[in-house]
A and B are shown apart, each in its own frame.
Chain A
């Protein structure tokens, strides 16, 4: 059974870089058919797609975040990662890693709260 687990710091200072890793079990991130992504949810608000990695390294990002986001993968560890630079309080959110196929998210990590504060 496919499982995803986010990990990373829960507190990041303003202007610094938020870095999270998603560890995948029960499936290989190297499959060309699979898409892996990051979605976030500010406290009490809705869901926002951040970006997706697919086809062993191709990426696509939300235009509103594109200048600050990088998603990468480490096939040897079966992990993919999120880097978001120049963070502000507006980036405080629960960050979910996700498995996407045929245009939908079928599997989600449990989510990790990242707070941006000095």
Chain B
């Protein structure tokens, strides 16, 4: 079973700064099936990035994803006030059929 480890656990930044979030897999993951989500308090997660680097519908271009193999990154180029939230990476495997989430990175206002 693939384990996803996100770092850091918490990122303290100011609006306008760049945020770099890491997601490391315990074994190689298909880039086609690596996604990132944003979650705000009291809300379900929202899909940001799929296929490691493709933005979901309506997601601003300040969000970008990159990586392959076991190392993936979500970058927020300039933090807006509404970007302070918790971010999760997620991978899907068809063999065995499993879905796995990382433990999350909280981006908080410094």
Contact = CB atoms under 8 A, between A and B. Distances in A.
Q: Bound pair: A and B? A: yes
Interface of A: 37, 39, 46-49, 52, 60, 62-63, 96, 100, 102-106, 108-111
Contacts of A52: 97, 99
Contacts of B56: 106
Interface in B33-72: 33, 35, 37, 44-45, 47, 50, 56
Task: Specify the main secondary structure of chain A where it touches its partner.
Answer: strand
A103 B92 contact: yes
A104 B97 contact: no
Q: How large is the interface on B (under 10, 10 to 19, 20 to 34, 35 or more residues)?
A: 20 to 34
A49 B101 contact: yes
Contacts, number: 55
B101 A110 contact: no
A62 B56 CA distance: 26
B90 interface: yes
Nearest to A4: B44
Nearest to B94: A103
Contacts of A108: 44-45
B101 A47 contact: yes
B35 A103 contact: yes
